[in-house]
Structure 1
Amino acid sequence: MIKHKLWYLLTAFVFFSITAGAQNPFITNQFTADPTARVFNGRVYVYPSHDIPCGPGRGRIGWFCMEDYHVFSSANLTDWTDHGVIVTQNKVPWVKPDSYSMWAPDCIYRNGKYYFYFPTTPKDTTVIKGFTIGVAVADKPTGPFVPQPLPIKGVRGIDPNVLIDKDGQAYLYWSQGEIYGAKLKENMLELASEPKTLGELPTKGLKEGPYVFERKGTYYLTYPHVENKTERLEYATSTSPLGPFKVQGVIMDESPTGCWTNHHSLLEFKNQWYLFYHHNDLSPNFDKNRSVRIDSLSFAPDGSIRKVQPTLRGVGLTDAKQKIQLDRYSRLSNSGASIAFLDTANTFKGWKTVLTNSQAWVQYNEVAFGKQALKTVTMRATAGAGATVQIRTAGAAGPVLAQVVVPKGGQWQEVKAPLSAFKPGTHTLVVSSKTNTPVEIDWVRFE
């Protein structure tokens, strides 16, 4: 056990300084999926699963492949820190060490400890066939997490989720064809009741990934469901943590690009609700390598959840002095503007915005310029025949901040231009082409 603790301490230290950006997907240094978001001590922690490419001797080629878990945190939903690996398949006593099946997890705080729940395949399939669920325990939300020697007795399935009710009773939810729930003992490691099938849900199509929360006396059971061809996010409500539940509607529609899975959590942070979910942004041709996203969520006066429209812009403010990724746009012109990968062989390098004529523009909301006057803008761009790009605020009628002349040439260049206007505060940016020659833009940054 001491060896395990030392290993987790070292991995947490090594990865602590890795940061990620603010837009969707909000983690871009690796594939991530199934995000469970929690607030601990005023900070948001996200516990996703970690997709990796399968290969010979490493998982099932063409399927999901996951060997460990990272945890990410943020104080503002904009700047994210990767705290490194917290649990890995070959460091858990009861787990088959080459199963590559560390699927969707959860984490909860109770009585001074953090309990991390995760599903995977056990070594001993004579006792348990298929998936079961284990727990790792830590003193901090980033670990080190020490796995329990055995999985939770009486639980078979995937996608663990934990609710601690107002009266202190904890509940564990999971899925295996159906969605199940049971009470947990005070120690958070054992069931305190027999599993109950939450059978008031749709009977047609796969249901999985339960996430349960309470709001104003109503218990919301949210889950992915294949109503047609791919998963959409739905919800049901009850006056009790174990139902009966009544199906209410859809939180997010099926992926327009055909990503087969979706998996989510809902979180209230600083008086705003958010939906954490995933899509295959960084792997558009293979939906088993996914990336986590965030968008704002709201409730109607009657308590129903308003449907969430997925965005590239995501949430949070973007600091004008940081690189602003225009390709995570809020709006894009109907013609002459498009988004493409910087390098199709390495999608983790991100995207670029392509403007092909003088009618093309891209809009990016919520840029924080601060109070101190900024004097210049730097744009990373390339334009074979040269181009002129205009940056303004507050839409078509807004003041022009700068005009950037991109010299002709086939290489990426960082071009600097003076600001002709500055207004403190938070603004919408509109970046448009003023010439009929194509220009590609990676990012802009103000100084």
Structure 2
Amino acid sequence: MLKHLVFCFGFITVFNSVSAQNPLINSQYTADPSARVFGDRVYIYPSHDIIATKEKGRLGWFAMEDYHVFSSANLIDWTDHGVIVTQNNVSWVKPNSYSMWAPDCIERNGKYYFYFPTTPKDTIAYGKGFTIGVAVSNRPEGPFIPESTPIKNVKGIDPNVFIDKDGQAYLYWSGGNIYGAKLKENMLELESEVKTLGDLPTKGLKEGPYMFERNGLYYLTYPHVENKIERLEYAIGKHPLGPFKVMGVIMDESATGCWTNHHSIIEFKKQWYLFYHHNDYSPNFDKARSIRADSLTFNADGTIKKVIPTLRGIGVIDAKKTIQLDRYSQISSKGVSIDFIDTADRFKGWKTVFTENNAWLQYNTVAFGNKSLHNVKLKAKSTKEVLIQIRIGKPDGLMIAEVKVPQSESFIEVNAPLLKRQTGIQNLFIVMKSNGHTELDWLTFE
């Protein structure tokens, strides 16, 4: 009963909403996103990076003590439903191990099964290293109640669960190789022998399997260290356990050197999306990561087009919301840069710095709705009085507002009327029409 009350308490008391582009979550570190569509919402079950200390975890390494779940109906506004599983409230987990690594969740017959890897305290019963446990709930956001033991005969990390169209469930995981096995209908036990999934690259680390099906093809996707850091790759087969044929790369290695990547792929409202992670809020330490998402598309033959990571991310943002311009779609070749607002607290986000006349920033897919909006508001500061123009479609496109930003040593909010009211979904261009040093935090329309 006490265990049940602990999980209910966490579920009831933590219910925060955040609005974000990439990274999706701006209130904590998140990694290894397992995205799922349940009903009319997308739920993300990530791991939760924290910074290790002498008292918590291993210095300079991954440290994870619990799991949150986040959900959204529009891919822009994400609700944090709070902690659903924590290390010291699972009876078989080694206390204070800080090893609650990449999880997954799936629904079957009205119940939600949350799979998580971690280290057990009883190495005689379960062996050394990682094994995989399950927590069960009647709702996708919890509360989740952990099973009293991990899954038998499973050693490894990165669980992924797939239910085929015939109702057969499969569990995938990694640990030197990528493995798969059938699950019983109770979703808590293996039904078949464990199979090592062959026909994958033999050189370099492979982990984080994620299986999905499309048009009768089974896509086994996984991070792989081909060179020095992970990139996302995929193989295709005609059965959930293979054989598979390696097809290529979904996403290249991080340009800034984040060593890991871990992902999931879903279809939501007739569009496919890739969820993955990067170290946006921790550029100098890649053990503190943040989840992202970008659109994913297929070629006519079923192969996947390579995804180029973006800052803008996914979702259509309401013009009345706070638009974080630093999550741009494109910027001019000079005169624009991005920096943290406060390097002592990077979760405060970024700012856009304009330094040259005619420098511009593009921000796509802003929904204006009807013609009721008549004003624009900027949060900005500048070393001198400057003009900021807001245009539609291109840097010299239709100007809908011109904002005079006065000299200010700190950020202030500046208003200007819309010269031309807009409807529908538009791509914005923010153009500097003066020389100087001007910093923009965000804009919104009223």
TM-score category, normalised to shorter length: over 0.9
Alignment of 1:371-410 (within 5 A): 371-410=370-409
Q: Where in structure 1 do 4 or more consecutive aligned residues deviate above 3 Å?
A: none
Q: How far is 1:359 from its partner?
A: 2.5
Post-superposition CA distance 1:195-214 (Å, at most 9, x none): 10002110100000000011
The match for 1:132 is 131
Post-superposition CA distance 1:304-346 (Å, at most 9, x none): 0110000000011111111110000000010000000000111
The match for 2:105 is 107
The match for 2:281 is 282
1:301 aligns with 2:300: yes
SS in 1 for 2:67: strand
Q: Which amino acid aligns with 1:138?
A: S
The match for 1:73 is 71
The match for 1:58 is 56
2-side partners of 1:6 and 1:403: how far apart?
A: 55
1-side partners of 2:372 and 2:90: how far apart?
A: 54
1:82 aligns with 2:80: yes
SS in 2 for 1:166: coil
Contact kept, 8 Å, 2:371 with 2:421, in 1: the verdict is no
Q: How far is 1:396 from its partner?
A: 2.9
2-side partners of 1:441 and 1:260: how far apart?
A: 31
Contact kept, 8 Å, 2:395 with 2:431, in 1: the verdict is no
Gaps of 5+ in 1: none
The match for 2:158 is 159
SS in 1 for 2:124: coil
SS in 1 for 2:224: strand
Identity percentage of aligned residues = 66
Contact kept, 8 Å, 1:361 with 1:431, in 2: the verdict is yes
The equivalent position to 1:24 in structure 2, one of 22, 45, 63, is 22
Q: How far is 1:372 from its partner?
A: 3.4
Q: Which amino acid aligns with 1:132?
A: T
Gaps of 5+ in 2: none
Alignment of 1:29-428 (within 5 A): 29-127=27-125, 128-428=127-427
1-side partners of 2:397 and 2:121: how far apart?
A: 63
Q: Which amino acid aligns with 1:232?
A: R
SS in 2 for 1:442: strand
SS in 1 for 2:6: helix
1-side partners of 2:410 and 2:72: how far apart?
A: 35
1-side partners of 2:302 and 2:42: how far apart?
A: 24
Q: How far is 1:386 from its partner?
A: 2.4
SS in 2 for 1:126: helix
Contact kept, 8 Å, 1:22 with 1:318, in 2: the verdict is no
Q: Which amino acid aligns with 2:169?
A: A
2-side partners of 1:260 and 1:201: how far apart?
A: 20
2-side partners of 1:250 and 1:11: how far apart?
A: 39
1-side partners of 2:110 and 2:317: how far apart?
A: 34
Q: For this pair of structures, how many residues does the alignment match?
A: 445
Post-superposition CA distance 1:227-278 (Å, at most 9, x none): 0010000000111111111101000000000000000000000110000000
The match for 2:429 is 430
Contact kept, 8 Å, 1:22 with 1:315, in 2: the verdict is no
Q: How far is 1:397 from its partner?
A: 4.0
- Aligned Cα RMSD in Å? 0.8
Moved more, 367-376 or 306-315: 367-376
2-side partners of 1:422 and 1:192: how far apart?
A: 61
Contact kept, 8 Å, 2:371 with 2:422, in 1: the verdict is no
Post-superposition CA distance 1:339-368 (Å, at most 9, x none): 000001110000000000113110100011
1-side partners of 2:192 and 2:292: how far apart?
A: 35
Contact kept, 8 Å, 1:230 with 1:254, in 2: the verdict is yes
2-side partners of 1:26 and 1:101: how far apart?
A: 23
SS in 1 for 2:5: helix
